[in-house]
With several copies, the nearest count.
Chain A
Amino acid sequence: MKPDQIIEALRLMLLSRALDEFCIKLQRRNRLGVYAPVHGQEAAVVGSAMALDPADDWMIPASREQPAMLRHGLPLENLLATYTGKVDHGRIPSDVKLLLRQQAIAAQLPHAVGLAWALKLRGLAAVALVYFGDGAASEGDFHEAANLAGVQNVPLIFFLINNRWAISTPVSKQTAAEDLSVRAAGYGFEGLRVDGDDLFAVYEATREAVARARAGGGPTLIEACTYRVGFHNTSDNPREYRDEAEVAAAEANDPIERVRRYATAAGIWSGEEEARISLEISTELNATYRKVASLPRPGPNAIFEHVYEEQPTRVRRQRDTLLNQLPEPDDAG
């Protein structure tokens, strides 16, 4: 990574950490719905995202890859709008090559294969990268998607974030495999493991995989080994199921601190720089949130929009009836 990339990465990681805190606070004050923090996984998420070219390449998120989505072009405003229920303002802009976050674990994987396949069929030199977790790797969708990607040799990076937990289920109960990247061999393509807390290692591994895919070399499975330091999401309390010592060890190995130390030693980062950037970030978060908070809440008609391109008669009648009956909304939820 070049110095400016390191700075970019560090800024994204700091933004991610700040966003976690910011959103968790908002959630605690009932200002937004459930939030799933990135905490602990910043190097894996940011390092992989930075290997993509947002102008050409597609990113397919799972659900806790906020800084990757931002890096790929999603405006912070849209991200916060989605979290706060301003659904239409959360829309992905039409020039951003990003699919939707996914609620159904692993369901995005075959979509990613199809999308990458389309890039290939259309003769584009673009690639796609899809995120998923150690839990998702147990779903049938993972297997079918990986196998199809292999046989069609599509330009797709399967980026597995092994953060050791799927809600309360440790990876030792998720699978007997010691190493999930070996699964790639069963699909006829390359798999490898990287230290997911090492920004540079993640970036390099992803960059190589991207280059191979772009050159027609097909898919790669990258398993980034990291740790979910935070809770699963704001409804979860990990103290109920895991050892605090394990968490403390992961915190001691903070991926942001590792980059910070490196960059400081390299003379491209300093306490002052960080203070400046942190202020910038918090200003941006606050301003963006204020803007988003002032946006109108979606009305009942939003239920009927974007179901089909053309509203079938029965749906139109349901809409007419419902809109006549509904009281003014009293809560943005």
Chain B
Amino acid sequence: MPRGSATETRPADLSILKAIQEALWLEMERDERVIVLGEDVGTLGGIFRVTRGLQQRFGPERVFDTPLAEASIVGASLGLALGDMVPVAEIQFLGFTHQAFHQLGPQLGRYRFRSRGRFHAQVTIRAPFGGGSRTPEHHPDALEAQLAQMPGIKVVCPAFPADAKGLLLSAIRDPDPVLFLEPEKLYRSVSAPVPEGDYTTPFGSAQLVRQGTDLTLVGWSAGVHLCLAAAETLAVGGASIAVLDLRSIVPLDVDALVDAAKETGKVIVVQEAPLTGGFGAEVAATIQGEAFESLDAPVRRIAAPDTPYPPGALEDHYLPSPQRLLEAAREMLGY
């Protein structure tokens, strides 16, 4: 385990960052084919220090800094996997996967299919994303909807430390490629109990992180915490609000969405990305498609406007805010 010293004991609560670190550490111990690559992941341990300590522990053969070239990080990871290694690549910020898009969906996502099963791409791509930290455009861009249009790739987006660890262990062991989206803003700000040792958390299984009967708020990654805060506030007023954490958007837990609609009849979905074509559209379209009769009101979307990510000074106006969510929820409850 990544500890300051041998005598230091691991606390029961870990931050998301520490949980991810623990998963990487465990899996590199367990499977020596696992290697970590990316910009600044070695000596520095990554911009956010997620990979700190790995190079010292596992050596520069298994943890290495790559040149500044995202397409080659993704493309070479595919090649490494075809050569029986298990690469866990970091793209410094999700926005810079755009530099590698042609190596993601069209290559990583299709190599198994194209080869009719002769090859597969056991590759994990980790990347932080999400707003609220005053990082400039590209860095916080929430590209999950674009990634969801890449069949063959799974898109995983934990919101809690225990899930971050369990989902990352699943991702690395998954024989298929996984994009693992890390909520930058929550890296250090959210801590919670994380089981020690080895466990995996399945994909495609959303979690009802709060029960409720009047309205369901659906989110993923940092959005879940926005939902929880709103639910808390509304509970004070007596409303019973459920919160559903998708945990992975591909595969999508359609049944959980249907159940939510059946249970509460009202759903709001929160996304950080611009409204048009965001993944909230898929959530809304799916729910109305599969649970139309259960809906008491249209599925409502809370999203950024259809404008580019603004400079930090304007970020708070741009991102879905607690206030916007609360207003929508109150309207919805009165529908």
Contact = CB atoms under 8 A, between A and B. Distances in A.
Do A and B touch each other in the complex, judged by CB within 8 A?
yes
Interface stretch (A5-13, A282-290, A321-329): A321-329
A303 B47 contact: no
A26 interface: no
B204 A121 contact: no
A116 interface: yes
Contact of A33 (B72, B118, B312, B324): B312
Across the A-B interface, the 7 shortest Cβ-Cβ residue pairs: A114-B79, A118-B83, A110-B75, A85-B313, A312-B251, A144-B72, A114-B76
A209 to B, nearest CB: 19
Contact of B75 (A93, A107, A122, A303): A107
Among A104, A135, A298, max chain B CB count under 10 A is at A104
Nearest to B306: A315
Contact of A314 (B82, B117, B252, B311): B252
Interface residues of A, number: 80
Interface residues of B, number: 86
A147 B67 contact: yes
B263 interface: no
Interface in A163-184: 166-169, 173-175
B79 A116 contact: yes
A167 B103 CA distance: 23
A309 interface: yes
Interface stretch (B130-138, B188-196, B220-228, B232-240): B130-138
Interface string A83-100: 001111011111000011
B305 A333 contact: no
Given A107-B75, A107-B102, A300-B314, A325 B323 contact: yes
A138 B67 CA distance: 6
Contacts, number: 257
Among B64, B80, B116, B252, max chain A CB count under 10 A is at B116
A38 interface: no
B284 interface: no
7 contacts: A87-B311, A167-B44, A299-B317, A312-B204, A312-B306, A314-B251, A314-B275
A303 B307 CA distance: 7
Interface of A: 33-34, 58, 85-88, 90-94, 99-100, 103-107, 109-119, 121-122, 135-136, 138-141, 143-145, 147-148, 151-152, 166-169, 173-175, 240-241, 297-300, 302-309, 312-315, 318-319, 322, 325-327, 329, 331-333
B307 A304 contact: yes
Interface in B58-108: 61, 64-72, 74-85, 87, 95-96, 99, 102-103, 106-107
Interface string B108-146: 000111111111100000000000001111110000000
Contact of B254 (A121, A141, A173, A313): A313
A65 to B, nearest CB: 17
A105 B282 CA distance: 32
Contact of B118 (A92, A152, A169): A92
Given A87-B314, A91-B116, A140-B69, 15 more contacts: A58-B83, A100-B111, A103-B137, A114-B81, A148-B72, A167-B40, A169-B67, A240-B43, A308-B176, A313-B254, A314-B251, A319-B305, A333-B134, A333-B311, A333-B315
Contact of A333 (B78, B120, B152, B312): B312
Contacts of A122: 83-85
A140 B107 CA distance: 15
